[in-house]
Amino acid sequence: MPEIQRLELKHQLGKYDCLVGSDLLPRLPEFLQKINAAGPIGIITNKKVNDLYGDTLRTSLQTADYVTRTILIPDGEAYKTLATVEQALSALIAQGMERSGTIVTLGGGVSTDLGGFVASILFRGIKLVHIPTTLLAMVDASVGGKTGVNHSSGKNLIGSFYQPDLVLMDIDTLKSLAVRDRVSGYGEMFKMGAIRDAEYLEFLSTHMEALIEGIPDENLTKAIARSCALKAQVVEADEKESDLRRILNFGHTIGHAIETSLGYGEIRHGEAVILGMYAAGWLSNQVGNLSSSEWEKLAELLKRIPMKLNLDSLDPATIEKITRLDKKVANSQLNFVLLNKLGEAQIQVGIPILMIKLAVEAIKKAWKK
């Protein structure tokens, strides 16, 4: 059994622990006591995850005399909306949730983002614990304090910054994931290596197959912990995304547009980010400072990631139109995250939006059947 990795993540108002290891779910009461978390414990999850892990969590909590409330939300990005938030809030209030209580999110990015948003606005903010059960949620949504829901005009346009009090990552939960979901999480880890740590990127590339397979060993624990530590460095320096933190959007501008264009459920978030990183890398070489040799290396590594996608319906004009709604657009030009070199990113101002079409064409060519 791999040793538990403990990260101490700091933010403007304090700090919290992020624990990565095996067999952590039954120990939740022990960790809650360390952060002085009181009940009721409102568990926000979906039916599938609840069927897998809900009983384990509730039994351990109730044995430790915690009162629990379970709120089931629909599964899928399409349900990460204000309507679902209102339903969750109404259910919690009806079940007697209290200001002294704690929200525990259990599941993937939808549960984490939406549950975090609920915790940030219920009684103007209550304790929050994230228990991500997907690789993507572990390395992305659960760390950094971003919460939010989607709008018909785009992804994550409504939300808040709200830091958790604890993040618990039990890597045993990754055994139940489909391959596409593990690939999606691998894409986010790859992003952190690409923008912050070329040596870590090499580690991910060397162990790609095993990491995607999701074997709960030391390499998987090390990869998740390193990804979270790299993200924490950025978040600590820029919690509210005014400057440095924007580099975390590498691959996301076009990636989010691809998600919106193809439809949530047709493509995983991490898959879209992988495609978006390819586009951003191409732009980094075309209009930025990324050398041709490093771009070729990045392109080959990205194309090695096992994805079976049909991109015939991916329309460059539609993607360009969607990016015009992006929060980073000003005066018909885009502030884009590009690479200076592998492991080093920067914000480049004034990328003409027309270049987006060419970048999407590059994606389609690279993944052509």
E strands, the chain, are 5-11, 14-21, 41-45, 68-72, 102-107, 127-132, 146-151, 154-161, 166-170, 329-330, 333-341, 344-352
Point out the catalytic residue in the list 191, 196, 222, 256. Answer: 256
Q: For 143-162, give one letter per residue: b (16+ CB within 10 A) or e.
A: bbbbbbbbeeebbbeebebb
Distance CA 48, CA 243 (A): 38
**Inter-residue long-range contacts of 30-33, CB under 8 Å, 24+ positions, other chains counted:** 31/166, 31/168, 32/61, 32/64, 32/66, 32/102, 32/129, 32/166, 33/64
Which string of DSSP letters, residue by residue, matches 28-67?
A: HHHHHHHTT--S-EEEEE-HHHIIIIIHHHHHHHHHTT--
One-letter identity of residue 325? L
How far apart, in Å, are the Cα atoms of 142 and each of 64, 132, 134, 312? 25, 7, 10, 33
Residue among 58, 80, 130, 146 flagged as catalytic: 146
Q: Is 226 among the residues known to form the active site?
A: no
Q: Among this protein's residues, is 252 annotated catalytic? A: yes
Q: CA-CA distance, 234 to 337, in Å (whole number)?
A: 14
C-beta of residue 78 within 8 angstroms of C-beta of residue 44: no
Cβ neighbours of 248 (radius 10 Å): 24
**269 counts as catalytic:** yes
Catalytic residue among 245, 268, 285, 320: 245
Look at residues 37, 55, 117, 108 and name the one whose alpha carbon lies nearest to residue 81. 117
Q: Catalytic residue at 188?
A: yes
| Measured CA angle at 326 (ends 320, 330), to 5 deg | 95
Catalytic residue (choose from 80, 127, 155, 269): 269
Q: Does 146 qualify as catalytic in the annotation?
A: yes
Verify whether residue 151 is a known catalytic residue. Answer: no
Catalytic site includes residue 27: no
Q: How far apart are CA 220 and CA 212, in angstroms?
A: 9
Tokens 């005066």 found at: 331
249 carries an active-site annotation: yes
Active site residue 58: no
- CB distance 154 to 84 below 8 Å: no
Q: Is 256 noted as a catalytic residue in this protein?
A: yes
Q: Check 127, 130, 191, 231 and give the catalytic one.
A: 231
Q: What angle do CA 251, 44, 37 make, to 5 degrees?
A: 105
Active-site residue among 98, 202, 241, 344?
241
- Catalytic pick among 36, 124, 331, 369: 124
* Active site (catalytic) residues: 124, 146, 188, 231, 241, 245, 249, 252, 256, 269
